Amino acid sequence: MMMGATVKNHFAQLAGIDKKDLYVVSIVPCIAKKYEASRPEFAPDGVRDVDAVLTTMEMLEMVDLKLIDPSTIEPQDFCEPYKQVSGAGILFGASGGVAEAALRMAVEKLTGKVLADQLDFKEVRGFAGLKESTVEVNGKELHVAVVSGLHNAELIVEKIIAGEDVGYDLIEVMACPGGCIAGAGHAVPEKIDTLQKRQQVLINIDKTSKYRKSQEDPDILRLYRDFYGEPNSELARKLLHTHYSPFHGDYGQSARRMGDSAYVTHEFTICTCDKCTSRGSKELFGNIYTQIKEMKMDAFVTVKTIRLKENHPGSIYITLDGKQIEESAVQNLNQNLPKLILTSVQ
CATH of the domain at 61: 3.40.50.1780
Any domain includes 39 = yes
Q: What is the rounded distance in angstroms from the CA atom of residue 50 to the CA atom of residue 163?
A: 36
Indicate whether 135 and 171 sit together in one domain.
Answer: yes
CATH of the domain at 287: 3.40.30.10
Indicate whether 262 and 272 sit together in one domain.
Answer: yes
Indicate whether 316 and 264 sit together in one domain.
Answer: yes
Indicate whether 97 and 211 sit together in one domain.
Answer: yes
Indicate whether 93 and 36 sit together in one domain.
Answer: no
State pLDDT tens for residues 221-244.
Answer: 999 999 999 999 999 999 999 887
SS3 264: strand
Indicate whether 194 and 89 sit together in one domain.
Answer: yes
State pLDDT tens for residues 200-222.
Answer: 999 999 999 999 999 999 999 99
Any domain includes 69 = yes
Number of domains in the chain: 3
Q: What is the rounded distance in angstroms from the CA atom of residue 242 to the CA atom of residue 4?
A: 14
Q: What is the rounded distance in angstroms from the CA atom of residue 142 to the CA atom of residue 321?
A: 43
Q: What is the rounded distance in angstroms from the CA atom of residue 246 to the CA atom of residue 95?
A: 26
Any domain includes 271 = yes
State pLDDT tens for residues 287-304.
Answer: 999 988 887 777 778 899
Work out the angle at residue 241's Cα, subtended by the Cα atoms of residues 20 and 44, and round it to the nearest 5 degrees: 25
CATH of the domain at 130: 3.40.950.10
- Interhelix angle 281-294/333-344, rounded to 10 degrees, is 100
The reported pLDDT for the residue numbered 116 is: 79
pTM for this entry: 0.71
Domain that holds residue 309: 256-344
Indicate whether 96 and 175 sit together in one domain.
Answer: yes
Indicate whether 316 and 336 sit together in one domain.
Answer: yes
Any domain includes 49 = yes
Indicate whether 147 and 75 sit together in one domain.
Answer: no
Which of 166, 197, 216 is the last residue in one of the domains? 216
65-69, 188-192, 250-254, range with the lowest pLDDT: 250-254
